[in-house]
């Protein structure tokens, strides 16, 4: 069978794959250069120069599809979908962060909050470096308390739950999908 002969098959399968949630062009559609300078700057500021800033851009893609005007029904706003209460806490700790609707400050606040969650999982639960970001992203999505409950259930079941893979089945479905989406987006980074 030649390529021309299989064209109909490809044409028939592509819509089905799209419906199934398989997005073969994530990198092409989502990984633009837009806002890169912000993700680079604030990743370096809050995580250090060695840390891959693409993780936080992948998070913003999962949060808002890189729409700086995005608003959720819960009131989360901007690229990083920062909730008003979270923004208020961040503003108390970092008074120079200005308008949360400005992409600059939204990215800064989101990455700062990620850093707080990242540290919390190390200090309180001794989660290793490779896994800690998954726990931080899960906490960003579901709240630290909800992920902690999932963690405790996983410890009860497995004894050791320092890998996200062990905790994920106990986390909310939305959170599992969220962390998985970020990981999937990172697979598309060169």
In this prediction, residues 17-45 reach a mean pLDDT of 68
Q: Compute CA distances 82 → 28, 36, 75, 79, whole Å.
A: 26, 18, 8, 8
Closest CA to 190 of 29, 24, 31: 31
| pLDDT on residue 23 | 36
In this prediction, residues 137-151 reach a mean pLDDT of 97
CA distance 37 to 107: 10
In this prediction, residues 136-144 reach a mean pLDDT of 97
The owner of tokens 């709240």 is 143
CA distance 154 to 150: 6
Closest CA to 85 of 98, 71, 74, 99: 74
128 pLDDT band, cuts 50/70/90, is confident
| pLDDT on residue 29 | 64
190 pLDDT band, cuts 50/70/90, is low
Look at the domain 34-187 and name its fold.
Answer: Lysozyme (1.10.530)
Domain boundaries, the chain: 1-30, 34-187
């Amino acid at each position: 069978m030649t390529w021309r002969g299989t064209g109909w098959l490809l044409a028939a399968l592509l819509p089905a794959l799209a419906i199934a949630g398989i997005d073969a062009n994530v990198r092409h559609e989502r990984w633009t250069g837009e806002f890169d300078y912000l993700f680079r700057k604030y990743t370096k500021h809050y995580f250090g120069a060695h840390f891959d800033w693409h993780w936080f851009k992948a998070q913003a893609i999962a949060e808002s599809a890189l729409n700086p005007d995005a608003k959720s029904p819960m009131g989360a706003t901007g690229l990083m979908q920062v909730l008003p209460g979270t923004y208020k806490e961040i503003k108390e700790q970092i008074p120079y962060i200005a308008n949360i609707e400005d992409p600059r400050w939204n990215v800064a606040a989101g990455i700062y909050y990620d850093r707080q969650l990242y540290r919390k999982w190390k200090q309180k639960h001794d989660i290793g470096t490779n896994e800690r970001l998954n726990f931080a992203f899960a906490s960003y999505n579901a709240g630290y308390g909800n992920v902690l409950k999932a963690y405790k259930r996983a410890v009860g079941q497995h004894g050791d739950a320092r890998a996200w893979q062990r905790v994920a089945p106990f986390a909310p479905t939305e959170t599992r999908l969220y962390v998985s989406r970020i990981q999937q987006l990172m697979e598309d980074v060169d």
